């Protein structure tokens, strides 16, 4: 059975091996996004980015759902100004892109000087992560349908869809709400929903600001009630074209069944929204790097050894709405 072991404080394992171990667990949490190049950033007043006040009086559940569901206007996000902070690991730089519902690519590393240290991605059929540091470079992968049918997850406790929510793209269906929303001591409103899956109902809890309609916290529990992950969201900035505020900071905490709890902080410098640039036939195709050990997460969760090779998939480009940078029409990336 494959089970990553966390280096002890007195371990003599080289620092790059320790970094690789943390990457192999934590970078799964970044199941999102690749970049397409430098983005033009218009000079605008910072007040234009501030989320507007939506409610003067306490909102009801339908009003809260309407505010949260403004995120449905986001069909695609990109950024080449992403930093990832993990305890005991140097800050990572990344470039990301995400397209509904499951397509993403993210690449990055310890610095631009070292090149690509990790490659995360997803298409309609599967998701993966390749890391090149350590004694043996590895590529983990899994099919979405098989992963969703497993409850005992040794490395990644949550699905890629929840990671999207942990970054602030949340959908709230009033028909799935459990009980009544109720205020918390910090003034936020807690809303719990039932999320269906092949293995039973998960429970998702979100905390929403009653004045601005912003999602500030997301938690997920499995059908047994065990907490799998949580995310604290902040630094929300407003995008006029889609009339939606997006968080630019996420503090994510994961609890896998096969290891200790892990945490990381993701900061986004800026987003381009609904800008499907730089697409090509292999943008969301699983890589086939030579010399990498291939590890099937499904078999890891079942206590089996990895197969000799990973399957290949490819998806066609998709069409998204017209583009903007913070709601400015016609802003495009420079190649």
The per-residue pLDDT string of the chain (335 residues; one tens digit each, 9 = 90 and over) reads 333 344 444 443 444 444 444 555 445 444 333 323 333 344 344 556 899 999 999 999 999 999 999 999 999 988 989 998 888 888 888 888 888 888 888 778 886 666 678 888 888 999 988 887 666 788 889 999 999 988 888 888 888 778 889 999 999 999 999 999 999 999 999 999 999 988 899 999 999 999 999 999 999 999 999 999 999 999 999 999 899 999 999 999 999 887 789 898 999 998 999 886 655 657 788 887 778 889 899 988 887 755 545 444 333 333 333 334 444 443 433 33
Enclosing H/E stretch for 192: strand 189-195
Q: Please answer whether residues 249 and 256 qualify as being in contact, where contact means their C-beta atoms are separated by less than 8 angstroms.
A: no
Residue 225 CB-density burial (10 A; 0-12 exposed, 13-18 middle, 19+ buried):
exposed
Beta-carbon contacts of residue 299 (< 8 Å; ≥ 6 apart): 305, 306, 307
Residues present in the chain in total: 335
Q: Are strands 293-296 and 138-143 parallel, antiparallel or unpaired?
A: parallel
Q: According to the model, what pLDDT value does residue 276 have?
A: 66
Using the structure block, give the residue that is written with the tokens 């390749």: 130
Nearest Cα neighbor of 246 from 164, 183, 318, 184 is 164
Spell out the alpha helix ranges (H) of 149-195: 160-166
Q: According to the model, what pLDDT value does residue 245 have?
A: 95
Nearest Cα neighbor of 246 from 272, 222, 284 is 272
Q: According to the model, what pLDDT value does residue 310 have?
A: 46
Helix, strand, coil percentages (3-state) for the chain, rounded to 5, are 15, 35, 50
Q: According to the model, what pLDDT value does residue 113 have?
A: 65
CA 87, CA 61: separation in Å to the nearest integer? 38
Assigned token pair, 200: 């039973």
Domain boundaries, the chain: 15-334
């Amino acid at each position: 059975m494959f089970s990553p072991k966390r280096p002890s404080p007195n371990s003599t394992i080289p620092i790059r091996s320790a970094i690789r171990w943390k990457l192999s667990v934590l970078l799964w949490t970044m199941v999102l996004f690749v970049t397409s190049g430098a983005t033009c950033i218009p000079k605008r007043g910072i007040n234009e980015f501030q989320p507007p006040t939506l409610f003067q009086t306490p909102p009801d559940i339908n009003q809260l759902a309407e505010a949260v569901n403004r995120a449905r206007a986001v069909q695609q996000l990109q950024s080449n100004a992403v930093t990832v902070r993990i305890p005991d690991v140097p800050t990572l730089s990344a470039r990301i892109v995400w397209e509904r519902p499951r397509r993403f690519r993210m690449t990055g590393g310890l610095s631009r000087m070292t090149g690509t240290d990790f490659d995360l991605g997803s298409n309609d059929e599967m998701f993966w992560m390749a890391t090149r540091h350590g004694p043996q470079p590895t590529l983990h992968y899994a099919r979405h349908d098989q992963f969703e049918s497993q409850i005992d997850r040794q490395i990644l406790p949550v699905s890629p869809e929840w990671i999207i929510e942990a970054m602030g793209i949340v959908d709230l269906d009033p028909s799935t709400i459990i009980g009544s929303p109720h205020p918390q001591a910090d003034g936020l409103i807690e809303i719990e929903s039932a999320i269906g899956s092949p293995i039973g109902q998960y429970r998702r809890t979100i905390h929403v600001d009653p004045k601005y309609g912003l999602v500030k916290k997301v938690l997920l529990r499995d059908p047994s009630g065990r907490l799998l992950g949580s995310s604290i969201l902040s630094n929300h900035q407003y995008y006029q074209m889609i009339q939606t505020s997006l968080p630019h900071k996420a503090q994510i905490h994961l609890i896998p069944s096969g290891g200790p709890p892990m945490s990381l902080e993701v900061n986004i410098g800026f987003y381009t929204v609904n800008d499907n640039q730089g697409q090509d036939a292999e943008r969301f195709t699983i890589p086939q790097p030579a010399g990498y050990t291939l590890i099937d997460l499904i078999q890891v969760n079942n206590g089996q050894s990895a197969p000799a090779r990973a399957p290949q998939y490819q998806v066609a480009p998709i069409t998204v709405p017209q583009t903007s940078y913070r709601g400015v029409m016609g802003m495009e990336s420079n190649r």
